[in-house]
Amino acid sequence: MSDDLKIIERITQEEYKYGFVTDIEQDTLPPGLDEDVIRKISSIKGEPQWLTDWRLKAFDHWKKMTEPDWAKVSYNKVDYQSISYYSAPKKKKELASLDEVDPQLLETYSKLGIPLEEQKMLSGVAVDAVFDSVSVATTFKEELSKAGVIFCSFSEAVRSYPNLVRKYLGSVVPYTDNYFAALNSAVFSDGSFCYIPKGVRSPMELSTYFRINASNTGQFERTLIIADESAYVSYLEGCTAPMRDENQLHAAVVELVALDNAEIKYSTVQNWYPGDKNGIGGIYNFVTKRAACRGNNSKISWTQVETGSAVTWKYPGVILQGDNSVGEFYSVALTNNFQQADTGTKMIHIGKNTNSTIISKGISAGKGQQTYRGLVKVLINADNARNYSQCDSILIGDKCGAHTFPYIDIKNKSAQIEHEATTSNIGEDQLFYCNQRGISTEDAISMIVNGFCKEVFNELPMEFAVEAQKLMEVSLEGSVG
């Protein structure tokens, strides 16, 4: 192995720095899944009957389904009866304000770099903090409500805005959609809800920070974002988990709806625990994310930076129903050590003059395996649909892999579809060229990788872009081989 490769290996083997566990008293349901567990979750949350029934229907459906195995990932199957479906920090009493949040939770989030005390927060970002199964705090609620923006935990939305929830829940991802979506619909515990009313631009970025803490549990959160006519919102999602030798399941559902002239920008920095360098432990991230551009001239962008998780299975898509609607997907996925990712997007063109863009950047290092899987579908009445897809992969070292599966299904002759794909290596010649100009191998790799990801990072909100860049550097540590 050359020196460069040794450096790559070292760089990509940096420790995961969010791997601590918060020692806090939690109420956790015993492991196992049956109708009683679902009724129990629903009753803890004080849900109306219709929602309990919906969960039970989803559970019924799930029982008839089989776990999908078409993805290019291999892992030990989850024993769904051996995990707990609900775990929440013990609550002393109802919280009236943030000051009453358990100081241990505040400390946890501040250790993660997400201070929940409003005066310490970045101005311009409201945070909903989800800890295992429940939302523990939402900041800037008052300021948002002045603008008419609703931003709260999913449980609170069910209580306070049942009509909105009932109207949109499952309208983009029905519980019949897939195995993990069905499971989530049956057992989801919390998540974030936001509604931006007609004509309102959200005065600040909204974000949810997901944290798995308890062991032997699954996290099943649900996010629902609705942008009413001519509304705009930018939403960020971050996630981390402790380091554990067992694999933990995270099966979330995210639904976005944009009505006429509305725009939603959804950014994710996914940094779940990826497992150790021998592939032990890590999160199974089996997530269904889908957006509906339901109104004319609506626009939805997904931007994701995926550096964590042992196994990722995720295809944020956009259903372009409204005429002239626009869907975008910008993705950077990094797999190092034994991480596996099968990720991509689905763009379904239904309305006329719809336009979609897919920019996917995959980085594989160590023994990481990565797959881009994307579907571009143009329905028969979708006149003048346009899609541009670009899928680039970069390989660091010689033990990793990159694969691309683009599916294209066109039923309308006026469609214009472009697909470009490249795969390249960070070659020793590139590294030597940088070295010869005084640049160290570590800096050269991060420069090349960042250059490779730039198109996607440019789509992230500023603070996130800086964060993402740093995260890439850390995630790559030890990868040069």
* Separation CA 128–CA 134 (nearest Å): 10
Report the sign of the C-alpha dihedral through residues 332, 180, 251, 317, in that order: positive
Maximal CA-CA distance, the chain: 69
Does 2 bind another protein (CB under 8 A)? Our answer is: yes
Residue 83: DSSP 8-state:
S
Pick 126 or 460: Cβ nearer another protein: 460
Does 429 bind another protein (CB under 8 A)? Our answer is: yes
# of chain residues touching another protein (CB under 8 A)? 26
Does 470 bind another protein (CB under 8 A)? Our answer is: no
The amino acid present at 408, given as its one-letter code, is: I
CB of 447 to another protein, least distance (A): 6
CB of 305 to another protein, least distance (A): 16
CB of 276 to another protein, least distance (A): 30
Pick 124 or 427: Cβ nearer another protein: 427
Report the DSSP beta bridge partners of residue 328. 301, 357
As given in the structure block, the two tokens for residue 455 are 């198109």
Taking CB under 8 A as the rule, which mask of x and - marks residues 86-125 in contact with another protein?
----------------------------------------
User: Of 74, 398, 451, 462, which lies in the binding site for another protein, with binding defined by CB under 8 A?
Assistant: 451
Stretch binding another protein (CB under 8 A), from 42-50, 207-215, 309-317, 433-441: 433-441
User: Of 111, 432, 469, 473, which lies in the binding site for another protein, with binding defined by CB under 8 A?
Assistant: 432
The amino acid present at 342, given as its one-letter code, is: D
Kindly tell me the burial class for residue 133, based on how many C-beta atoms sit within 10 Å of its own C-beta (0-12, 13-18, 19 or more): buried
Q: Are 130 and 190 in contact (CB under 8 A)?
A: yes
Does 458 bind another protein (CB under 8 A)? Our answer is: no
CB of 225 to another protein, least distance (A): 32
Does 3 bind another protein (CB under 8 A)? Our answer is: yes
Pick 236 or 334: Cβ nearer another protein: 334
Stretch binding another protein (CB under 8 A), from 234-242, 247-255, 435-443, 461-469: 435-443
The continuous run of DSSP H or E covering 264 comes out as: strand 263-270
User: Of 43, 160, 381, 424, which lies in the binding site for another protein, with binding defined by CB under 8 A?
Assistant: 424
Stretch binding another protein (CB under 8 A), from 255-263, 302-310, 397-405, 449-457: 449-457
| Strand 192-196 relative to strand 150-153, pairing | antiparallel
* Separation CA 288–CA 180 (nearest Å): 8
Q: What is the DSSP string of 326-371?
A: EEEEEEEEEE-TT-EEEEEEEEEE-STT-EEEEEEEEEE-TT-EEE
* Separation CA 214–CA 19 (nearest Å): 12
Does 428 bind another protein (CB under 8 A)? Our answer is: yes
Pick 71 or 448: Cβ nearer another protein: 448
Q: Are 243 and 210 in contact (CB under 8 A)?
A: no
Does 440 bind another protein (CB under 8 A)? Our answer is: yes
Report the sign of the C-alpha dihedral through residues 244, 245, 249, 254, in that order: positive
Instruction: For residue 234, give the nearest of 467, 459, 455 by alpha carbon.
Output: 459
Pick 146 or 437: Cβ nearer another protein: 437
CB of 182 to another protein, least distance (A): 40
CB of 146 to another protein, least distance (A): 39
Pick 157 or 460: Cβ nearer another protein: 460
Does 203 bind another protein (CB under 8 A)? Our answer is: no
Q: What is the DSSP string of 427-470?
A: -HHHHHHHHHTT--HHHHHHHHHHHHHHHHHTTS-HHHHHHHHH
Does 447 bind another protein (CB under 8 A)? Our answer is: yes
Query: Residue numbers of the site for another protein (CB under 8 A)?
Result: 2-4, 424, 427-430, 432-441, 443, 447-448, 450-454
